[in-house]
């Protein structure tokens, strides 16, 4: 099997081949490293490639397997966003501020991956400090489907790497949609779990009350595999949930018959491009033959226009609180865009922050009421396709703010803390991916993964591959 054929296996398929000794973890890892060397110069998905460490980990996984060990991630090459601490390997968070930072600990989620035998290929590129804009030193990750377009933010490097076959899966982080936005733009699956379900210990924060960690993969089944490996309580994260954890992978054996699916129509209309709306609506009604019941969701007040104005004061104030000392001491090391955002955060009034928290609670109450009527809620993940490169910077001086438009759709689940997953559901005539988002009840990742998985069993959007150089 060639490097390129190996690259497009799912995690589940790769594990089966490893179990049958049809290939070794070292072979799979070498194949991924070869693709990174061939393709990443045109994508800018990685900040640091951990070649030596990855090969050592792959050999160790092969030894474990030869000794009888098994596991869904044993020997599987993955990538992690460069805000997850990694012992002895620099963790930059995409900023000059941390360009030479080498942690002496490893983030909890990465520890869990490594304990499961996963091979960490490297650290992926990202918007600076996950705040929506790339630092000039690192640049923007390019979209494998059209390299004149962004891979999205802030986990764009993770999304590009998975979509391009440079990693079988990756970790991202999500404060206003930073897993789901790049996932939809790059045509992959992205899961933002329930707030507190995955520890953020060892992860550089953006906004403490909104930050989530989660997996980015090509399939819902693979997302469940990675999620199951890293979810659970961690005393080192003050927000870590003590809710008992049950693996989600067994739930994927069920069918979706009887699920009540709520269509949130206002999110199909709110600034949604006509072609995106059409594709998302077709995907939504394609769920009906699976035996689900579709119904319309009604709220007491329009929610879509309020998500952005509610989330931004929270992000601005919390981010500035974290960065304030460094901003005063080393302002020149921040990129100009994030530097301006952090300064704006310094003038957010306590009244504005508290008003946003009150509105956040009202929105959460509405979503929880809807989820008592329905098992899941669906709507387009983003109202647009992947923007052109530099769109986030350009939008600052234009009438159409790209970042605010994105947050309007994905930020809802960050405000409420509910789990949400995006899956690819079609392509525009220009060949750009579109996705739908499935939101579920708190700590019920199993149901949204189930519905995503059965949808992928009847469609092939997640199997499409961008045209890239051969390795």
pLDDT of 105 above 50? yes
pLDDT of 196 above 80? yes
DSSP 97-155: GGTT---SS--HHHHHHHHTT-EEEEEE--SGGGSSS--TTT-PPEETTEEEEE--SSS
Whether the model clears a pTM of 0.95, i.e. scores above it, the answer is: yes
CA 225 to each of CA 62, 116, 169, 250: distance values in angstroms, whole numbers, following the listed order: 19, 11, 10, 10
Strand 212-217 relative to strand 142-143: parallel, antiparallel, unpaired?
unpaired
Mean per-residue pLDDT over the chain, rounded: 95
Greater model confidence, 335 or 469:
335
Instruction: Write out pLDDT tens, residues 256-271.
Output: 999 999 999 999 999 9
Does residue 330 form part of some domain? no
Alpha carbon distance 241, 197 (integer Å): 6
- Mean pLDDT (whole number) for 71-98: 98
pLDDT confidence band for 393 (50 / 70 / 90):
low
- Mean pLDDT (whole number) for 172-191: 98
pLDDT of 411 above 80? yes
Does residue 470 form part of some domain? no
Q: Which residues contact 410 (CB under 8 A, 6 or more apart)?
A: 174, 176, 177, 180, 181, 381, 382, 420, 437
Is there a cis peptide before residue 113, judged by omega within 30 degrees of 0?
no
* pLDDT the model gives residue 301: 97
Q: 321 burial class (0-12, 13-18, 19+ CB within 10 angstroms)?
A: middle
Look up 154 and say whether it is catalytic: yes
pLDDT of 396 above 80? no
- Mean pLDDT (whole number) for 282-298: 97
Q: Number of structural domains, the chain?
A: 1
Does residue 331 form part of some domain? no
Six-digit token string for 344: 């704006």
CATH number of the domain where residue 291 is located: 3.90.1300.10
Does residue 288 form part of some domain? yes
User: Structural domain of residue 381, as residue ranges?
Assistant: 3-306+349-463
Catalytic residue among 24, 25, 154, 240: 154
pLDDT of 65 above 60? yes
Instruction: Write out pLDDT tens, residues 291-309.
Output: 999 999 999 999 999 999 9
- Mean pLDDT (whole number) for 309-324: 97
Catalytic residue among 10, 178, 240, 471: 178
Question: Which DSSP helix (H) or strand (E) runs through 329?
Answer: helix 304-329
pLDDT of 394 above 90? no
Instruction: Write out pLDDT tens, residues 11-54.
Output: 999 999 999 999 999 999 999 999 999 999 999 999 999 999 99
* pLDDT the model gives residue 3: 74
Does residue 429 form part of some domain? yes
Alpha carbon distance 415, 58 (integer Å): 39
Q: Which residues contact 382 (CB under 8 A, 6 or more apart)?
A: 177, 180, 181, 184, 185, 276, 405, 406, 409, 410, 435
pLDDT of 469 above 90? no
pLDDT of 395 above 80? no
Alpha carbon distance 85, 120 (integer Å): 12
pLDDT confidence band for 370 (50 / 70 / 90):
very high
* pLDDT the model gives residue 405: 75
DSSP label of 70: -
* pLDDT the model gives residue 415: 98
Instruction: Write out pLDDT tens, residues 126-141.
Output: 999 999 799 999 999 9
- Mean pLDDT (whole number) for 237-255: 97
Instruction: Write out pLDDT tens, residues 45-56.
Output: 999 999 999 999
pLDDT of 203 above 70? yes
Does residue 314 form part of some domain? no
Look up 325 and say whether it is catalytic: no
- Mean pLDDT (whole number) for 224-235: 98
* pLDDT the model gives residue 468: 82
pLDDT of 185 above 50? yes
Q: How many CB atoms lie within 10 A of CB 171?
A: 28
Does residue 428 form part of some domain? yes
Query: ∠ at Cα 454 (250, 246), nearest 5°?
Result: 25
Question: Which DSSP helix (H) or strand (E) runs through 440?
Answer: strand 433-440
pLDDT of 183 above 60? yes
CA-based nearest residue to 179, from 451, 428, 420, 427: 420
- Dihedral angle, C-alpha 365, 366, 369, 371, nearest 10 °: -110
* pLDDT the model gives residue 404: 72
Alpha carbon distance 125, 82 (integer Å): 6
Does residue 59 form part of some domain? yes
Strand 260-263 relative to strand 293-296: parallel, antiparallel, unpaired?
parallel
* pLDDT the model gives residue 397: 46
pLDDT confidence band for 399 (50 / 70 / 90):
very low
Catalytic residue among 81, 141, 158, 240: 81
pLDDT of 1 above 80? no
Do residues 461 and 424 touch, judged by C-beta distance below 8 A? yes
């Amino acid at each position: 099997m060639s490097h390129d054929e190996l690259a497009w296996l799912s995690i589940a398929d790769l594990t089966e081949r490893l179990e049958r000794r049809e290939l070794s973890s070292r072979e799979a890892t070498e194949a991924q490293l070869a693709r990174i060397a061939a393709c990443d110069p045109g994508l800018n998905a990685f900040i640091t490639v951990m070649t030596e460490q990855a090969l050592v980990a792959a050999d160790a996984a092969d030894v474990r397997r030869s000794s009888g060990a098994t596991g869904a991630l044993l020997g599987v090459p993955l990538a992690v966003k460069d805000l997850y601490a990694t012992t002895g390997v620099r963790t930059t968070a995409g900023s000059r501020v941390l360009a030479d930072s080498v942690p002496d600990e490893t983030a909890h989620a990465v520890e869990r991956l490594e304990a499961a035998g996963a091979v960490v290929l490297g650290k992926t590129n990202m918007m600076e400090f996950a705040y929506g804009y790339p630092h000039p030193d690192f640049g923007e990750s390019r979209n494998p489907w059209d390299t004149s377009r962004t891979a999205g933010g802030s986990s764009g490097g993770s999304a590009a790497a998975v979509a391009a076959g440079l990693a079988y899966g990756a970790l991202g982080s999500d404060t206003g949609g930073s897993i789901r936005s790049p996932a939809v733009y790059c045509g992959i699956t992205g899961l933002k779990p329930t707030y507190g379900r995955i520890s953020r210990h060892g992860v550089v924060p953006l906004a403490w009350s909104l930050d989530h960690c989660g997996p980015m993969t090509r399939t819902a089944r693979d997302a469940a595999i990675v999620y199951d490996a890293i979810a659970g309580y961690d005393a080192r994260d003050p927000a870590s949930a003590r809710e008992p954890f049950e693996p989600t992978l067994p739930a994927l054996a069920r069918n979706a018959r009887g699920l009540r699916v709520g269509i949130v129509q206002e999110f199909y209309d709110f600034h949604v491009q006509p072609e995106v709306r059409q594709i998302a609506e077709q995907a939504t009604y394609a769920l009906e033959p699976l035996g689900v019941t579709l119904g319309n969701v009604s709220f007491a007040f329009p929610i879509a226009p309020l998500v952005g104005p509610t989330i931004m004061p929270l992000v601005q104030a919390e981010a500035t609180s974290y960065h304030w000392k460094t901003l005063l001491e080393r302002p020149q090391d921040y990129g100009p865009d994030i530097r301006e955002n952090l300064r704006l955060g310094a003038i957010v009034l306590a009244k504005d922050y508290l008003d946003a928290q009150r509105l956040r609670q009202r929105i959460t109450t509405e979503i929880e009421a809807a989820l008592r009527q329905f098992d899941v809620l669906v709507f387009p993940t983003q109202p647009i396709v992947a923007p052109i490169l530099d769109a986030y910077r350009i939008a600052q001086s234009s009438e159409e703010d790209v970042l605010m438009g994105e947050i309007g759709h994905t930020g809802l689940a960050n405000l409420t803390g509910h789990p949400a997953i995006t899956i690819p559901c079609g392509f525009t005539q220009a060949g750009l991916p579109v996705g739908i988002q499935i939101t579920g009840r708190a700590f019920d990742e199993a149901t949204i993964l189930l519905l995503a998985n059965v949808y992928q069993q009847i469609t092939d959007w997640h199997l499409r591959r961008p045209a890239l150089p051969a390795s």
